[in-house]
Structure 1
């Protein structure tokens, strides 16, 4: 088994650390910001659902593009640069429509870079892909914690949303510097060979992608819990911060668990059901408990699902990663609309039942994809 390129994994982890500081800091304030601009709960659920879905669904195109080009680094640099511009632009867009457009641009930038960057991480991981994804994810979650803490401190201190978004551009620039250092490591993963069969026609990958769609639909987005949290705006940011903190050990745990126990593949939907059930109560204490389950579910998607996608994708790794992530995002879109609507009409108690049905179907498809 080839040894991982630890230096490259750490440098890409530092890139994501600073990038997460940028965009997770913004996301920790965005639900409250959109609410202040006049958005309803359904609108917030749709904005985050559509945005996340866009960030995933575009990977159906960006993954194969990265494999065909075989360069990977160009898409990675462009994606990170666009993200910095989108978050900084929020400071200059105090209107709901403009803010929504910039949220979509930020999500599209993530779609552009992620399959290509993950293909590089996969190559750097040697024979230990889940370990490489877990180490990378744990580093980027440190940035997520820093970003969430920055938003929490800024809002608690009375700093305006515009000034917060400009402040967050500083770690965004640091991300580009770290990425330049990673590029100098000289790792250039090989893309799909010309004439190779399309990976999307492979039945196990299709079934696993569908399982991830249903997994995404079983998970209530944390933005809805932040939206309904009672009290000052920073309360929602505190819930988000709790999720980001827990995702650091969760990422390391998932990376090691999948290497040692392949049955851990089936644990993700249970975490999603637990998060949705807690969020649907509207109780603050359970909101924090749900945040921990939510972070377990999202780190599962970032590590275990990616490792499984790489196994199923063969040499077309970016294509497989894009397909699995895109399916998860489509489920996220459905979940954002469904659960946001249930909150608006006062039927939140139905959410756990719907989540359980999606989670059970997801597990059945995962087993069929073996």
Structure 2
């Protein structure tokens, strides 16, 4: 079982360690040397030095490469990241959820495995596994382990309600995740259970967080501020700081993937913040999203013109870049706007707001005063 991964990543070559945020860039010659060496070969002196400098607690001097290193092969496709909704099902019914209907449906295991193989062939090194709530999926554990064995650095996005389970903790101990991102929906039982619409959700969240912190999982919190818990924003961030866990605060809700605006009523007007200006992204070119049925899109938001990975195989990726370019250029409900050429909002995101008939101020940034 590997403790280090060497891999092409976009136009670079990296050395990374599951469970660690750190890493090192390698020259192409170094990558090719490691790629050519037999698993029985001893670690080159230069690699030993790099590992010692980056991870002093990891000793590889004199070790066989096959004992600790997984060398990933180059890919002609150039995708470095991907996200995967294992299932839309969830054990919560959050008022603000952008997924809308929580349908427990997805692919059989053989299709899931094939899709993960294709992702690896496409070059995906960093994989976000999400849902719904991914840990309730019947295939989550073997899918996670399979992706890990392929040499992926995995982020699990979860509500944390099941992180106390011994089988999950054993899995994460044996196959460390790159990150575990936990959504936080309140600082008290009243607000947390109200937003998730599930009695006892707060108790499970606390139990999961206590277990995750005890296991020293690489945690990061997504603090979600809504009408139900807005008065607890400071209490939520204080709790994260007392735990010593980094966090990011989210106040702006997004319409559902079906274009429904009902979830927008959950956001707190008093806590809304101006979204970061959208400049550009490589959605569809260097990363992609896959839904529970193996349908690829450029990202979680821009889901038009999906490609079936189980049916088309890796060749379907050849169409993704053109789809991305078309979606990013589309003006949709902003047709006729004289300022469209300087739009500062992600076009697929703006489309969702327009379909939800949201007020223009909810997404349009033109005319807003510059800060400071």
With the length of structure 2 as denominator, give the TM-score of the two structures. 0.24
> Greater helix share, 1 or 2?
1
Taking structure 1 as the reference length, the TM-score comes to 0.24
**Higher Cα Rg, which structure:** 2
Q: Which has the higher contact order (CA 8 A, sep 6+)?
A: 1
Report which of the two has the higher share of strand. 2
